[in-house]
Amino acid sequence: MSGTFQHDVLIVGGGGAGLRAAIAAAETNPDLDIAVVSKVYPMRSHTVSAEGGAAGVIKAGDTAEDHIRDTVFGSDWLADQDAVEVFVEEAPNELIQLEHWGCPWSRDPDGTVAVRPFGGMSIERTWFAADKTGFHMLHTLFQTSLKYASTKRYDEWFVTRLLVENGRCQGVAALELRTGQVCAILSKAVILCTGGYGRIFPFTTNAAISTGDGLGLAYRAGVPLKDLEFVQYHPTGLPGTGILITEAARSEGGILVNKNGDRYLRHYDLGQPLDVNDERHPVFRAMELGPRDRLSQAFIKEEEKGNVFDGPYGTYVHLDVRHIGEKKIDEKIPFVRELTKNYVGIDPVHEPIPVRPVVHYMMGGIDTTLEGASPLPGLYAAGECACVSINGANRLGSNSLPELLVFGARAGRNATLFAREHPELDTASLEKQAEDEQRRIANAFIKKLDGTERLATIRTELQRAAEAGCGIYRTDATLREAAHKVAELKERFTRTKLDDHSLSFNTELTAALELEFMIDVAEAVVQAALERKESRGSHQRIDFPERDDERFLKHSLAFRTTDVPRIEYRDVVITNWPPAVRVYGREH
């Protein structure tokens, strides 16, 4: 082992949630020694790819109650309503703070912040910076974080284990990619902000780094993973690449049509389009701006009817923005035009865009409180790797970016308080754990010469199993087959062999460590989906087509065992919005 480092607060992940947590910790106590560990440079974090916008109540006619209702309704009542209330209350201030730090929000002609409609939102409340919102938010957070001299960055370090002693998380073991050495990075509090786990699926908008590392770290340390069965498909991904065509394209007027030229969403209880000249605001424009789970399910129904196009990368429909006009496309969704030109070879000003549902976001994650605390003392989490839960069974578009800010800040502040109250560290025993991790990695991968399995083969088979078992529609049979396949792959992984046995920037080793986490997370996803015998939001069981509030108005909690994951349940927090029928239309 090459060394030991020590800090007061340690953040794992340099994306939106991680940087917001670092800033909040530094603001709470300027004397703190703070560290951010990231396997990529912060500006390469997946937050940078978010396009559409960030929801926050700012305009006249909108209220916090409206935003709460939309979020709870969209979640199919699986969101904890106390968490949603906190989120909605604090989101506007976070977005205003970003404005003060320099985020270039798009403006209306009168100079006020512009907002656009978004799927499942009954009122226009989504702030945006053209269609590169995440890019500008991450730039703003990164440059703001640089002014705090007390914050140290470990860029291109891969955390492989949480260091737990005396029932408390006291740091991490991290692989320095440049040297291949594992170091102990000790800390009085640790915050996981590592993003999602979309890469357990073959067709996803998620970056290659979204492999569920943070969830795997917490899971192996005994922390439960909550609501993993809820996997969000975005209805408009580019076939072949998985690149996202932002919901902003539909909020600006884009429509979905099948191979017959039919605007097919009108057949799926998603309301009727409103008159574009209707002066009443707020308005609820359903159909293309319905919730993502319903739109993705409608695509499958059209596929079953034979109403979709066939292409080299599977079936698809058309997203048509031609009627919007070149001027508005270049002003409001220029990145959409750039992406389709570069990756499909068409100009959306003149041709419709081929799209199909693509895995986009994970509602589940590490079980946390409103303060970002996990059940393991000293361990916090925020962002997509965490589940507080405001998203329940289906996240509304544009809620995830403010979630990074609100709960990143909360985790940063509360981890700071925990660090002040728990100053002692068990240095010797923690260093020994890190040494054990160095030996484990060396023996399992670097020194191992007799393996027979290939990483790429196992990864491909894992992704196919996840897609077949935990796609948009699921059955007992598909889930059991997926569970059997994941168990087989877990055993086969122990026989993997690397070709690269070097230490410096060994990307094959990194891929192996990521695949370990992916297998653990996939196993929990499949088991949670198998045991939830109902249909709710993004979890649609063909064999249990109805929502069952009596048995399953509960969060699932997956615990790691020596056998299959153990699934327990916890009641959803209901405050002012009792469960009702989830119907979309002009009013809801």
Which are the catalytic amino acids?
234, 250
Residue ranges of the alpha helices (H) in 290-399? 292-304, 326-332, 334-343
Beta bridge partners of residue 316, listed in sequence order:
309
Which residue type is seen at 388? V
- The pair of structure tokens assigned to 208 is 């290659």
For 344-372, letters b (16+ CB in 10 Å) and e give: beeebbeebbbbbbbbbbbbbbbbbebbb
Q: Which of 395, 360, 83, 362 is nearest to 229 (CA)?
A: 362
d(CA 111, CA 108): 5
Residue ranges of the alpha helices (H) in 494-552? 507-531, 549-552
* Strand duo 255-257 + 314-320: pairing: antiparallel
d(CA 238, CA 261): 19
* C-alpha Rg value of the chain to the nearest Å: 23
d(CA 521, CA 327): 45
d(CA 2, CA 437): 13
DSSP 565: P
Torsion of CA 494, 486, 293, 82, to 10 degrees: -70
* Strand duo 309-311 + 314-320: pairing: antiparallel
Note whether 170 and 425 are within 8 A (CB): yes
User: How far are the Cα atoms of 283, 317, 535 from residue 265, in angstroms, in the given order?
Assistant: 18, 12, 20
- The pair of structure tokens assigned to 78 is 């699986």
